[in-house]
Amino acid sequence: MRMAIIDMGTNTFNVLVRDPGNPEFEFSDKIPVRLGEGGFGTGRLSEAAVERAQGALSSLMEMAKNQGAVRIEALATSAIRDASNGGELVDWAQRTLGLHIEVIDGIREAQYILEGVRHALDLPADPVLVVDIGGGSTEVLVAKGAETLWMKSFPLGVSRLKELFCPSDPLSIDDQARLHEHCAMHFKGLKDELRQYQPRWLIGSSGSFDTLADLVRVPPGTPEVWSPSEPIAYDAALSMCALLQQLRLEERLRLPGMAAFRAELMGISALLVQHLLEMHPFQHFILSRYALKEGVYFSRWAAYRVL
């Protein structure tokens, strides 16, 4: 039985369709929604953002049904859980589309992300740091093998940071200093965990890390050979992060490998990645293409298999 997972992120809505009876089948797509745009300061989803979300949900449900999905689930994250009117969108989806939306907290989100990462690559026996940079929040975990050692959701999503700091494009030196200071304040507890567990790997989950991997692939513009995980060249990534913070939007759009819908916020994403890479002497930097929606699928597929 084919099932679909819709991940209602703060910037992008994603759909995944898979069939437990046919592991070779997989369909995925995404729609940029910018659900959190204009809402972090007011605590409410804007009317325009809600309209974009409604259109995206309708389109993604149609895609899922066209792919044969007979069960569709949706999960909402930071933008909806933090908005005073987020429940109105949830009610609309149930009433109009017959779609149940589960609003999950940051810890549950992190758990699903880790489940996705564990299916993208075999985690070593030594501790690793897993990071998922979203629009409204950034989930960070320390794990080894099948054991979860520590996890936390930070209010450091790229859309949230853009609205909070209103940085110039490209980021000015002052913008960079203020953003780094803000990240350091929130990541103070993370530094203690890094000191305690000494992870040698940093695993970036999907999203911004997908684009960063595309940007540093050698030679530039080389088509990716798809795999659920991929090493990212550490020094090249740091250099690209520095460059992204110096380029204007139109210059970022011209970079080989740049996803157009990520270009606007990629300067802030790059600063966050740079901050994390420089917090600790990691020896390996890995991309996991599996994240929340894959984690939901792998957490639940056995139950659906027998229905």
Rounded CA separation 117/257 (Å): 23
> Under a CB-based contact definition with an 8 Å cutoff, are residues 187 and 115 in contact?
no
pLDDT of residue 23: 85
On whether both 38 and 179 belong to a single domain, the answer is: no
Give pLDDT, residue 307.
43
Which of 84-98, 107-121, 209-223 has the lowest average pLDDT? 209-223
Domain boundary among 56, 78, 104: 104
Whether residues 132 and 274 share a domain: the answer is: yes
Domain membership flag for residue 110: no
Domain with residue 40: its CATH number is: 3.30.420.40
pLDDT of residue 95 exceeding 90, the answer is yes
DSSP H helices in the chain: 47-66, 78-82, 86-92, 106-120, 158-165, 173-186, 188-197, 207-216, 234-244, 249-253, 266-277, 292-305
Domain total of the chain: 2
Strand pairing category for 71-76 and 128-133: unpaired
| End-to-end Cα distance, the chain | 8
Q: Among residues of the chain, what percentage have pLDDT more than 90? A: 91
- The arithmetic mean of pLDDT across residues 208-220, rounded, is 89
pLDDT band with cut points at 50, 70 and 90 for residue 68: very high
Same domain, 137 and 258: yes
State the DSSP code for 149: E
- 117 lies in some domain: no
Q: Does 142 fall in a domain? A: yes
Query: Is 307 buried (19+), middle (13-18) or exposed (0-12) by CB count in 10 A?
Result: exposed
199 and 99 fall within a common domain: no
